[in-house]
Amino acid sequence: MRLFRKKGPAPIPYDRETAEPAVRSSICTGELTVGFVDRQTGRFHEYELAHDENDVEVFCQRVGIAASEIKRIF
């Protein structure tokens, strides 16, 4: 029996019919922002700042998709 165990990242709930997970990357600075794109309007809604590709992979795990499936926006 383990008393102290590390829990995985908590899942992020979102409506799969109206939103799509995406990563927005700045052309100038290379800053990565993860969030969701509204399928109807195409507007990007920021969720959090990603410091590197590992943060993007953690976001993908929390959302429930593979890292290769995430949409990239420049």
Model pLDDT for residues 18-67, shown as the tens digit of each residue: 999 999 999 999 899 999 999 999 999 999 999 999 999 999 999 999 98
**Amino acid, single-letter form, for residue 2:** R
Question: What confidence tier does 8 reach under pLDDT thresholds 50, 70, 90?
Answer: confident
| pLDDT attached to residue 5 | 73
| pLDDT attached to residue 7 | 76
| pLDDT attached to residue 37 | 96
What is the dihedral sign for C-alpha 44, 13, 65, 17? negative
Cα–Cα distances in angstroms (integers) from residue 18 to residues 13, 22, 30, in the given order: 12, 13, 27
